[in-house]
Structures are given as structure tokens and as C-alpha cells.
Amino acid sequence: MQEKGIAIIGVNYRLYPKIKAPVYIDDSAAAVAWVFKNIEKYGGDPTKIFVSGHSAGGYLTSMVGLDTSYLKVHDIDANDIAGLIPFSGHAITHFTVRKERGIGGTQPIIDDLAPLFHVRSDAPPYLMITGDRELEMLGRYEESAYMMRMMKIIGHKETHLLELEGYGHNMVYPAFPLLLKEVQRILKPTKIISNPKIQVE
């Protein structure tokens, strides 16, 4: 992505069963906070940080960006994230969390470890991308559709959902161009001309 002027920072987090929720969310928040505090050293702009991830990473993207408490521990405002772009992430409580608690995979839970629990109107721009609803993991598209609906109802104007027809859960590579398009859309400068009521993009 260097030719596009984009830096990618890939991070890992500790996994169940060695640790349990919410430690892996804490790890993800610490990684995002590190980027905010260090990106300028590498020529980056802290006002242009996007968070994305696939599957569990998509879930973590939503949790770190929507539940402001995780980044607040590191003195970072989650609303300073330029955009959230989860790929095929849970909107309900993640099935790993449910497994930790002895709850079956077909039993949906929405508690404080569910992105849906943290819908809010002032969140960063939020683009969810899933595979085909008939090919995705159980309920993944439908959860995202409900998440979009609830974000819109609460007043968030920058929530969108894209479904990649013909692709299952492993929809990462066809989703990358859509991620880049969203980044460009959000960062596209708006030129103000002489009439203050008119904006030209």
C-alpha cells in the first residue's frame, strides 16, 4: 500500500483459552492506542487512523470503536478513529465469549460484550462488510443488518453495510478494494467556495 500513501499496522492479541474476555479486547485497544501515540514517528497522521479486521478481528474492531471505555483507559477518545471497517464481524456477543460461558453457538446474546449493546450516534463512520448471507457463518449478515438498522435509528448517519454476493466468510480479498474506497471517501477533501451554503466535493 506504500504507493497509495497508506501504512498498514497488523497486530495480534492473546487467544482463548489461555485468556478470556475481555482480555483480547484490551489487547486490541492497547494496539490501537499505541498507533495513536506513535504513528507520527513513522510519518503517519493520527487524524487518519482507520481500524479494520476480519471475523474475530471484525468483532474487535467494533468493540474497540463503539465501547469507548477500552480506549479511554489509554487516554484515547474512540471518536478520534477516522473510520471503523469490520469484515464479517459479530454484532452480537462473540461465539468465543459464549463458549467461555457455556452458552451454545446458536443462542444469541447481546450484553456489554456485544457491539450491538454499544450503538451510539456519535461513533466514527462505520462500514460493515460481510459475505453472502447464504454462504456466511451463522447469522453474520443478519446481525450486521440489524446493527446497521439500530445505528441508524439511534441517529448515526454514517453506518453502511455491504454484502459480497457469491463469497462466504473468507471474503477478505474482494473486500479490500471496498475498504480502500471507504478510506478515500472519508478522507476526500471538501472545497468550500464563495457561497458558504454550497460545498463542492
Instruction: Give the pLDDT confidence of 128-152 residue by residue, as tens digits.
Output: 999 999 999 999 999 999 999 999 9
Average per-residue pLDDT for the chain: 93
How far is it, in rounded angstroms, from Cα 170 to Cα 74? 33
pLDDT, position 196: 39
In this structure, of 82-86, 144-148, 186-190, the range with the lowest mean pLDDT score is 186-190
CATH number of the domain within which 150 lies: 3.40.50.1820
How many distinct structural domains can be found in the chain? Answer: 1
Confidence of residue 1 (pLDDT cuts 50, 70, 90): low
Confidence of residue 35 (pLDDT cuts 50, 70, 90): very high
Residue 2 has pLDDT above 70, yes or no: no
Taking residues 60-75, report their average pLDDT.
Answer: 98
Interhelix angle 23-38/56-66, rounded to 10 degrees, is 70
Domain that holds residue 113: 2-200
How far is it, in rounded angstroms, from Cα 176 to Cα 163? 13
- Tens of pLDDT along 88-143? 999 999 999 999 999 998 999 999 999 999 999 999 999 999 999 999 999 999 99
Residue pair 62/70 in contact (Cβ under 8 Å)? The answer is no
Residue 194 has pLDDT above 60, yes or no: no
pLDDT, position 197: 40
Q: What is the CA radius of gyration of the chain?
A: 17
The whole-model pTM stands at 0.92
Residue 200 has pLDDT above 80, yes or no: no
Cell readout for 148 is: 446497521
